[in-house]
Amino acid sequence: MNRYLWPLIAVAALIVFLVMGLRHGDPRALPSPFIGKPAPQFELPTLKNPEVTIGSKHLAGNYALVNVWATWCVMCRKEHGFLLDLAASGAIPIYGINWRDSRPEAIRWLNDLGDPYIASAYDADGRVGIDWGVYGAPETFLVDPEGTVVYKHLGPLDPAIWEREFVSRMNSGGSGT
Amino acid sequence: MKRIFVFMIAAFMIAPAAAIDTEKRFDDPELQARYEHLISEVRCLQCQNQSIKDSNVSLAADLRREIARMIDEGKTDEDIAEFLVVRYGEFALYRPRTSGKTLVLWLAPFLLVLVGVFALARVLKHRMSLPIDDDSGEKG
């Protein structure tokens, strides 16, 4: 009996690790090192008007979404309808970071599809994207009123994800958790 | 047959022409070597099983540019690793630094070897305690 006990335990442990690994979900979704930390500072010209800048100070005071998007990003088109609905509902201000894109094409995209953003920052060379740890658009950050990153979602948003991951965190009380 | 063979060899000779980022960033060969070493140690987050040296996606190009800039500014390798880890986590480095979080990664192989040695010792000890004519018994 004892002879089979240890191999049995070893195999059971392997199976536990396997199941944990499989349940981990999207292997591309990495934990953001910014969760619970202050959102990275930035200041960039807006997409529609290069004379005006937008930056961290505009986010403060409210829960806000920071949505990283680009016209070359297929999944951004998929989530765009939901972003428009969300903006129309007035649930939360949405700020865009237009990441590594062409300005005329990005403006045309917003004119054609509608503009859910308070404003979009124009990050032509991806420098601010690196500061935010962006590695695949669309990415959406939830920033609390104190400017702390509460959650980051990789991939397109939809109503179910919004309810499950974002609304719950905004309701579970204010700061820093 | 021979013609096909020649064709196949020719086809293989075309392939390796695609190298990425062969341009030299630094005149100083020492800095260039440091740069090439660093970019081979950083994971491309968009394509995960390539280093940013081997990847031609846009983010890898951005990170190469930033690393070159930091070398220009005289940053140390540790500064550059810190820059990446703060933004992308330890996962961005192919060789995660020794720290509380990654200690288990570094120690696990040694622990597993120890467990193996222990198990082997037990099995051998058990075998040696068996009667010597045990083997002949099995054959017969």
User: Structure tokens of B41?
Assistant: 């140690």
* Residue B46 pLDDT: 79
A86 pLDDT more than 70: yes
CB-CB neighbors (< 8 A) of B59 in chain A: 126, 129, 134-136
- Asked if B89 and A129 come within 8 Å (Cβ–Cβ), the reply is no
Other C-beta atoms closer than 10 Å to the C-beta of B48 total 13
Q: B46 in contact with A at a CB cutoff of 8 Å?
A: yes
B18 pLDDT more than 60: no
Q: What is the pTM of this model?
A: 0.75
- Asked if B87 and A136 come within 8 Å (Cβ–Cβ), the reply is no
Helix, strand or coil, per DSSP, at residue B43: strand
DSSP string over chain A: -HHHHHHHHHHHHHHHHHHHHHTT--TT-PPPTTTTSBPPP-EEEBSS-TTSEEEHHHHTTS-EEEEEE-TT-HHHHHHHHHHHHHHHHTSS-EEEEEES--HHHHHHHHHHH----SEEEEETTSHHHHHTT--SSSEEEEE-TTSBEEEEEES---HHHIIIIIIHHHHS-SS--
CB-CB neighbors (< 8 A) of B91 in chain A: 30
* Residue A3 pLDDT: 75
**What are the structural domains of chain A?**
35-171 (3.40.30.10)
Q: At B126, which amino acid appears?
A: H
- Asked if A33 and B46 come within 8 Å (Cβ–Cβ), the reply is no
Nearest neighbour of B88 by CB, restricted to A28, A125, A135? A135
Nearest neighbour of A30 by CB, restricted to B85, B89, B119? B89
A38-75: pLDDT as tens digits = 999 999 999 999 999 999 889 888 999 999 999 999 99
Residue A32: closest CA among A161, A127, A134: A134
The percentage of chain B sitting over the pLDDT mark of 90, rounded to a whole number, equals: 35
B140 pLDDT more than 50: no
Residue of B nearest to A37 (CA): B86
Residue A141: closest CA among A151, A156, A131: A151
User: Which carries the bigger pLDDT value, residue B84 or residue B44?
Assistant: B84
A-B interface: how many C-beta pairs under 8 angstroms? Answer: 43
CA-CA distance, A165 to A157, in Å (whole number)? 10
CA end-to-end distance (rounded Å), chain B: 57
CA-CA distance, B46 to A28, in Å (whole number)? 8
- Asked if A131 and B87 come within 8 Å (Cβ–Cβ), the reply is yes
Q: Which of A75, A128, A130 is the best substitution to test chain B (most B C-beta atoms within 10 A)?
A: A130
Q: What is the ipTM of this complex?
A: 0.79
